[in-house]
Each structure stands twice: as C-alpha cells, then as structure tokens.
Structure 1
Amino acid sequence: MRIFHPLPFARRAVALGVAIALAACSTLPPYSPPTVAVPAHYAGAPTAQPGWNVAAPADAALRGAWWTVFGDTDLNALEARVDVSNQTVQKAVANLQQARAMVDYQRAGFMPTIGAGVAQSRSRVSQNKLGSSLAGKTTPDYLVGLTASWEPDVFGRVRDAVAGAQASAQASAADLQAVKLSVTAELATDYFSLRSLDTQKQLLDDTVRAYADALKLLQQQLAAGAIDASAVAQAATQLESTRTQDADIDVSRAQLQHAIATLVGESASTFTLPPRVQSFADVPAIPPGLPSQLLERRPDIAASERRVAAANAQIGEAHAAFFPDLVLSASVGFESSFFAPWLSAPSLFWSLGPQLVGTLFDGGKRSASLRGANAQYDGTVADYRQTVLVAFQQVEDELSALNTLASEVDSQKRATDAADLSLRLTTNRFKAGAVSYLDVVTAQTIALTNRRLADQIAARRMEATVALLKALGGGWQDGAGGVGSASAGSAGGVDSAPRSHG
C-alpha cells in the first residue's frame, strides 16, 4: 500500500501561494497630489531683503525654534517647555503613536496566522441513534494541535490598507507639527501681549504718581487762595480715573499669565512671570518666500494632502472587495479517546489545502462601498484645496497687517511726540496763569492716550509677526543663523496619488 506524505504537498501548496502573491495585481488607483491654483507672488509681500535666504524645502528638514528670531530669553525658556509639558501636544503625540501602530497592524496582514490549542472533553451519543457504533456510550477525547492560515494578497487588499494606514500616519505626524506650531504661536502671542501690559502698567504707575503730586500741589495752591476748587476737583477726577485704568491692567495681565501657565503645562496657581518693561521697536522682518513653497511648509496642508492619499487607498480596498479571497490553511495535531497513547504516532492527524471564496451577490453592498470611497476622496480633495486657500488668505492678511502697522507706528510716534509737546506747553501756560487747569487735564489725557496707543500698535506689530510666522508654517534656522523656511512635511510624501474613479 502506498503511503501519502504531507510534506511534499505542503511545499507545493506554499510555492503555489508565493507564486500567486508575486503575480498579484494591484487595485490601488494611481495617485498624485490634487492640483491647486498657486499665485506667482504674494500681493502684500515686500521686496526681498538682504541677508535672508529661503531654504530648499525637504521632508526630512527639522523645524527650528522660530521664536528665537525675537531674541527674548524669557520667551525661549517658555517655548522650550511646550514639547515636554503641554497636554495638547502630548495628545497629538499619542495620536501619532496610535496611527503608527495601525500601520503595523495592517502590515501583519501579509503574514500567516498560527494558533495552538489543547482540549479535553467527554461526550455521550444517544442510545437511540441508529447506525452508530457509539450509541449509548460515553467517550473521552484528548486533543492538541496547531492551525495555520495565510491569505496571499492576490488583489492588493492588504497593500491598499497598508498604504492608507501609512498616509494616515503621515497625516498624524503633520497634525503633530501643526499642533506644536499653533501652541508655540499662541504662547508667543500671549507673551508679547503680557509684556505690552507690563509697559502700559509702568506708564500708568508713573502717571498716577505724577497726577498725585500735581493734586498735592493744587491742594496747596487752593489753601493759599491762588486757585479755585474746580482745578482740584478736576485733578482728583483724573487721578482716580487713571488709577482705575491702572488696576484694570492687573486683571488682564493675570489672565494672560494664567493662559501662559496652561500652555507650558503648569498650574496657574503656581506659575508666575515677573513683570518686565520691553521695547517693541525692533521687529524682525520675515521673508514670506514664494506662494508655491507654502504648500510644503504648512503642516496642516501636508496633513490634508496625506488624507487625500489615504482616501485614495480606501478606493483600492473597495475595488479589491470585488475579487475572491484565496486562503491557504493547515492543521496538525494529536487526538485520542485514551490518554495513554494520546501523543503517539497513530494519534496524529493533519489537514492542508487552499480555499478560494468569493461573493456572488451582496445586494449592491460592494458597489455602494466603492461609490462611498470615491465620494470620500472628493471630499478630502475639497478639504485640501480649502486648506490651501485659507493658508494663502492668512499669509496675505498678516502681510497686509504688517505693512499697515508699520505705517501706523511712524504716524503714531509723531502723534505721541506732538501730544507730549502740547502737554509741556499747556503746563507752562497754566503756571503762567494763561489757561485754566482744565486745559492741562485735557492735554494730559491726550498725551496718556497716545502713549498707550503707541505701545499697543507696537505690540500688535509683534503679534502680527508671530501670526505671519505661523501662517508661513513656522520658521527654520538657516546656515547663517537666521530664520529661513523649510518643509513641514511635503505635500507629496508617499509614492502613491489622482486616482481614477471606478
């Protein structure tokens, strides 16, 4: 009698599966990043400035500490705490780790699944079961075995799933960079707003002291009969009104300090930032580069494009569902009704064989899934183009704001100088008895308002510079130590992209 050996057959089956896998066709549609209309230059961009070089974008380029361009050591120390302690950033890191784990999960589909089991049972066959030799008997069963199954990726279903997971992971990586950029920009904006309040606080403190001294002098003059009581009343009113403005600064500063504490991951109850008067005279000039570079520098644009690639891969998965699944399965083990010979050669059993399974009718479920995948792709393309449009709008907004604020700084300086001169002249005329103290109060109010307005415009200019850096996708250190531009994650990071609707 001829004995059949399973090993040669197993080798032939595995070889067949490998050959099929190597000859597999792909259902992934061809992909390239969606096209968008890109202007040749920014409408509000100034002419190129010497000393600035725009770095060549690259996916591997590291984003630098763009905030160091402001040269503020306190800001640098605060920004360094964002990556470590900010909880929004930590959540984005966790999302990235989850997305990368999903890539490994999908890649596992290329590998076989192997299981093992041990079982012991007792069973009794009905005594009334005709034609059974075990009728009315109770028999034990001891079983130990291994099972293995492998589904060759014949039509690219697993490859499409891996491609989609990789694109989603890249989108999560870009999301992380976008979150970091947003948080660091918000921190810089709050910091400069707080320093502006410190400057205004000192201005109001000095003004309150000056008004208090003036009130004492007027009270002495009133006691000497040199002036009437109306001048004293006007001075007292102005003093208390200024004290109210001074106290209101404390409320706004406390709120900004609490916001900064949250951004750096510290309790607002324990965080303090000592007051410091800071001049905003030196505002760094930021070269915006070319609009085409914005597509590579902005992490949110990169994330949106990667989601288009992921949606394209889902179309491939929907296509693959129309093809049958080939599964190679095998099992081997020992089974016996008696424990003693359980693991002996006569108790050996095995099975090996391929299985080809396909769906013949599903009521249109797969077609609907394919239409849905195509619609989802179209939606992600629209999201991508909208993200690009918003990015261009943000850059143009900040360029326009900086151009306008630069003019406002100059005109406001002239207004402040004129108000200070008017105050000095009016005060001298009051001392000479040529005008009433009401004229002095009016001149003081105008001078104080213009000083505060000058500082507020300078602070807004710093905040607009921060907003421009954020709109441009952040800054990177170039070789000369300046802030250049680089890639936040290129819009075309995976070798896949426009798919054809099927």
Structure 2
Amino acid sequence: MSTFRPSDRRQRFVPCVIVAMVAALAVDCALTSCAVGPDFVAPTAPNVAQFVHGKPTQDLIGAERGSQRFDAGGALPTDWWTLFGSRAIDTAVSEALVGNATLEEAQASLRQSEDAMRAGAGVFFPQIDAGFGGSREKYSPLRVGQDLPPTIFNLFTLTASVSYVLDLWGGERRLVEGLRAETDVARYSLLATYLTLTTNVVNAMIARAAYTDEIAAMRETIDLVREQVRIATTQAEAGTAAYSAVLTLESELATMEASLPSLVQKRVQTEDLLATLAGQYPADWHGDTVSLSDIAVPEDLPRAVPSELVRRRPDILRAEAALHTASANVGVATANLFPSLTLSATGGYGNSSMAALLRAGGQTWSFGASITAPIFHGGSLWYQRKAALAALDASRSAYRQIVLAAFAQVADTLRALEHDAATLDAQARALASAREALRLIRVNYEAGTVDYVQILLADQQYHQAKIAYLQDVAQRLQDTIALYAALGGGWGTAD
C-alpha cells in the first residue's frame, strides 16, 4: 500500500487543473453549438432582368473615334486604366497607389481591425496568469484574541491562476463574429478607397488633357479675333467700315480673353488634385504632358449581370459586412440577458524565505465555479437589446439604399455612353462642316472673291466647334470610367 506524500499533491495539482479546463472547453463547445440571436444570412441579389428602364442597352455603341462593344463574357482587368493606352495615365496611377495618404490610412485601419479580431478571439481560451511577490509584514496576535507579542516576518508568494468563462449562450462567439464582420468592413473600405483613388486619378488626367487642348484652341481663337480687330480697325480708319464693328469685335475678344484664365485655373486645380492624390505637394509634382489624342477609347466594355453587381461593388459588400456586424451585436445583447458561468482555479506557494518557498507546508490551491445572473439593471440590458435590433433594421435599410443607388449609377452610365456617342457624332459632323467651310473660303480668298475677314470668321467658327468637340470626347472617356467604377472596378484576377 503506497503512502501519499505532499510532493504528490504538487505534481497532481497542475494536471488536474488542465484536465478540468479541457473538460470545461468540451462542455462549452457542446453548449455553444447554438448561439442566441439571429444567424446572419447574406441578402439575396435583386430580382431584376436589366439595369436600364425600357429598351435594353445596345450591344454596339458606334461613335467617332471608335465604337464600344459590350462583351457578356468579358472580364474587366484589375488595372483597367491601362485600357486607355496612355503611359502618362499609368504613371499617375502608379504614383498615387504608392504615395496616397488616404489609401495608407485604409490599409492601417484594416490591420487594426484584423488585430482587434485576433485579440477578441482570445475569449475562447482559458486566461492564465502568474504572479510573484515579496513583502515584510508585522503581525499582531492581539487581533485574534491572543495575548502574544507581535512578530515581524518576510513573506514570499508564488501564485498561478486559471479562469474560463463558459460561453453558454454564444455571446462571446457572437462578439467575435461581429469583430470578424468589422474586419470585412475595413477590407471592403480599403477596396472602395482603392477604386475611388484610381477613378479620381484617371478622371483628373483626362480632364487635364482636355483643359490643355481647350486652352490651345482658345488661344488660337483669340489670336484670330485679335487679327479681326486689327483689320476692322484699319478699315474703320480708312472709312470703309463702321467703327461699331471694331467695338463688337473688341467686346468678343475681351470675353474670350476673360474665359482663358478660368480654363488655365481649372487645369492648375486638376494638377494640384493629382499632386494630392499622389501624396505630394503641388510644388513637387510634375506630370507628363498629355493630350486627348494620346488617350484611346476602350473598345470592349463588360456587360455585367444585375444579380452579380452586389458581389462586385466594394460599397455594397461593405454595407453587407456592416449588416453582419449589426446582426452579431443583437446576439451579444441577447446573451447578456442570461446567466454566465465562470470556472476558476488558483494555486501557489508562500513562505518566509525564498529557499523554503516551494515547501509543501506553504502550498495553497482552490478550484471552483461561479454563476452570475442579471436580476435588475434598471432596464439597461433589455433596452440595449432593443437598440441592437433597431441598429439591425437601420443597417438593413442602409444596405438596400446603397444597392438602389448602385443600380441607378450603372443605369445612368449605360445611358450616358449611348448619349455621348450620339452627341459626339453630331459634334464631329459640325467640326467637319466647319473645317470644310474654312477650306472653301480659303479657296475663294485665293480666287479673290472674298476678303481675309471671312477667312478669320470661318477659322473662328472652326476653333469653337473644335473646343466643343474636345469637351464631348473628354465626356465620353469620363463616362467610360464612370461605368468601370459603377461595376465595381476590375475583377479580372482573384486577388
């Protein structure tokens, strides 16, 4: 028959605690197989056949400077801006992706959410702590009714504690579920920031190219009107023309000269915007000169299915993740209404000297369970759950509104591309007519049938038509970008 020794107790204490905690984990897993609160189900895609109202979008949109064709099987590449065939645009986007401060903030927010989720997942594990302390104390036996002199001694303690909260109602699991959904919110916010950034950069580069071409055409037109003023002034001095014609031309010249600085200012503002997007100061930013003639019109456009849009747009996915967070919060608030059970174990040693610290005589331990049930909290827990339910309803409505706005944006851009093509065709015909009229007047001038003023007038009309044409070209390019953004950006890769 073996004799039980104190050393056996020390050896068996830690294994017993570990076994107890493992058993508690097993029980907890069995009890939390069904958590309180709603189980989140992703919203279904809208049951609509097409984006636009009435007649479906044409498969081929023909226009001057190239037609655009919708490809049902086409995939928009992640670097969709390369479809415009401009190295200046590619460079500007690359600079923005490297230096943009908003993108860096979104990346940091995602890392923060991921770390918060990992920290929250620690509730599924036992909490183990250890402590060591040393003190010098004076003890008076008179406090317990003993007429003995006080004693002064040293006390050294070495303790360890283990605690674990049983997730009986799944509240902790809902909490981590909500943290995971918050991580999804941060992830899709990052994707939305990425899409907005690239869209803004390409839009700004196209606007800058349009302003550059318009400024050049406006300066040519101003030179023509200035020449008309000179000729009209000469004719008025010679008595062959009325001086009112000079005043009319001077008024027109002043109006054009007044409009030129505003165009230059718009280009400056666009360049400052590009510098900000690239994370640079305006004085340090230097972009390549680009013209609208250097930018190609993408020929193949993706034809997205309405039911797929909700899985492509980052803002819709972010709203869905926020809805998931609100759903998990309802589970957390519901679980707080029920009792909680905590298992705990402590053990340690204490002695008056370090050398004798681990002796059996100074050993202490405890193992137990505690249950806490909410009885009266002034209605706080109940109304916290009602608030969580209201937040869930609000998130559901916000999700629906974002989906409606997304579908409207796609419909707008699809119709805009059709209207841009029609407008550009008409403007191209007007430009061709003005060019031909200028050619014929020059022929007549060489034949001596018209004066030079007629050439200047025809040339002025040609440049005005050219400016309108440039504006329509830029609008078509920017509406193409708007379509890419409305469809959620590139989805050609799995990254």
TM-score, length of structure 2 as denominator length: 0.84
In the TM superposition, residue 373 of structure 1 has moved relative to its aligned partner by 1.4
Partner of 2:63: none
Distance change >3 Å, CA 349–CA 444, structure 1 → 2: same
Asked if 2 retains the 8 angstrom alpha-carbon contact of 1:294 and 1:472, the reply is yes
* Structure 1 residue corresponding to 2:28, chosen from 21, 25, 29: 21
SS in 2 for 1:80: helix
| Equivalent residues, number | 474
Measured at CA, do residues 390 and 207 of structure 1 come closer, stay the same or move farther in structure 2, by a change above 3 Å?
A: same
CA contact (8 A) 1:147 1:330 kept: yes
Residue 43 (structure 2) aligned to one of 20, 34, 55: 34
Matches within 5 A, 1:238-249: 238-239=252-253, 241-249=255-263
Q: Please give the alpha-carbon distance, in whole angstroms, between the structure 2 residues aligned to 1:154 and 1:464.
A: 55
Report how far residue 3 of structure 1 moved: 6.8
1:322 match: 337
Q: How does 1:41-120 map to 2 (within 5 A)?
A: 41-43=50-52, 45-48=56-59, 52-54=71-73, 64-120=78-134
Partner residue of 1:483?
none
What's the counterpart of residue 305 of structure 2? 290
Q: Pairwise mapping of residues 119-134 of structure 1 onto structure 2 (< 5 A)?
A: 119-125=133-139, 129-132=143-146
More helix by share: 2
2:46–2:307: 8 Å Cα contact kept in structure 1?
A: no
Q: Residue 54 of structure 1: SS of its match in structure 2?
A: coil
Cα deviation digits, residues 3-25 of structure 1 (max 9, x gap): 78454753653353133123113
Contact 2:57/2:415 (CA < 8 Å) preserved in 1? no
| 8 Å CA contact 2:138, 2:152 repeated in 1 | yes
CA distance in 2, matches of 1:275, 1:301: 37
CA-based RMSD: 3.3
1:361 has 2:376 as partner: yes
- SS where residue 30 of structure 1 aligns? coil
> Aligned to 1:476, what secondary structure does the other structure show?
coil
> Cα–Cα, structure 1 residues 423 and 242, in superposed 2: closer, same or farther, change >3 Å?
farther
Confirm or deny: 8 A CA contact 2:235 2:241 kept in the other structure. Answer: yes
Deviation, 1:88, is 0.7
**d(CA) in 1 for partners of 2:461 and 2:473?**
18
Select between 420-429 and 106-115 the one with higher mean Cα deviation.
420-429
What is aligned with 1:406?
421
Structure-2 residue corresponding to 1:481: none
- Checking the alignment, whether the CA contact within 8 Å between 2:323 and 2:395 is kept in structure 1 is yes
- The 1:404–1:135 alpha-carbon spacing in structure 2 relative to 1, beyond 3 Å, is farther
Distance in 1 between the 2:466 and 2:146 partners? 106
Going from structure 1 to structure 2, the CA distance change for 1:237 and 1:276 (only over 3 Å counts) comes to farther
- The amino acid across from 1:13 in the alignment is A
Q: Aligned to 1:145, what secondary structure does the other structure show?
A: strand
Deviation per residue, 1:316-350 (Å, 9 max, x gap) = 21222233222222222221234552333322222
- Contact 1:125/1:135 (CA < 8 Å) preserved in 2? no
Matched, 1:196 2:210: yes
**Quick one: distance in 1 between partners of 2:98 and 2:148?**
70
Structure 2 equivalent of residue 494 of structure 1: none
Shift of residue 353, structure 1, vs aligned partner: 2.3
Distance in 2 (CA, whole Å) between partners of 1:179 and 1:132 is 75
Cα 1:217–1:363 change in 2 (3 A) is: closer
Alignment of 1:216-295 (within 5 A): 238-239=252-253, 241-279=255-293, 282-295=297-310
- Per the alignment, do residues 363 and 276 of structure 1 end up closer, same or farther by CA in structure 2, a change over 3 Å counting? closer
**Alpha-carbon distance in 2 for matches of 1:157, 1:189:** 47
Contact 2:72 2:303 in 1 (8 A): no
Contact 1:36–1:385 under 8 Å retained in 2: no
1:175 is aligned, of 182, 189, 194, to 189
Distance 2:77 2:150 in 1: 78
State the alpha-carbon separation in 2 of the partners of residues 82 and 375 from structure 1. 40
Distance apart, 1:80 and its partner CA: 1.8
Structure 2, gaps ≥5 residues long: 61-68
Instruction: Name the CA distance, whole Å, in 1 between partners of 2:412 and 2:374.
Output: 55
Q: Does 1:463 align with 2:463?
A: no
Q: Does 1:384 align with 2:403?
A: no
Paired-residue identity, %: 27
Q: Distance in 1 between matches of 2:212 and 2:18?
A: 80
Find the counterpart in structure 1 of residue 64 from structure 2: none
Runs of at least 5 residues in structure 1 that lack an aligned partner in the other structure: 57-61, 478-485, 489-502
> 3-state SS of the aligned residue for 1:154?
coil
Q: Which string of whole-angstrom CA distances, capped at 9 and with x for unpartnered residues, describes residues 111-157 of structure 1?
A: 11121222222344567635257774444322122222122333222
CA distance 1:271–1:281, change in 2 (3 Å) = closer
Q: 1:306 aligns with which of 307, 310, 321?
A: 321
Is 1:426–1:440's contact at 8 Å kept on the other side of the alignment? Answer: yes
* Displacement after TM superposition at 1:208 (Å): 3.9
Paired residues of 1:48 and 1:287 also in contact (CA < 8 A) = no
Show CA shifts across 1:297-316 (max 9, x none): 10110110111111111112
Structure-2 change in CA distance of 1:113 and 1:10 (3 Å): closer
Contact kept? 2:45, 2:307, Cα under 8 Å: no
CA distance in 2, matches of 1:170, 1:70: 32
TM-superposed deviation, 1:177: 0.5
Report the counterpart of residue 497 of structure 1 in structure 2.
none
Cα–Cα, structure 1 residues 269 and 114, in superposed 2: closer, same or farther, change >3 Å?
Answer: same
Aligned residue for 1:297, secondary structure, equals: coil
Describe the shift of the 1:219–1:424 C-alpha distance in structure 2 as closer, same or farther (beyond 3 A). Answer: farther
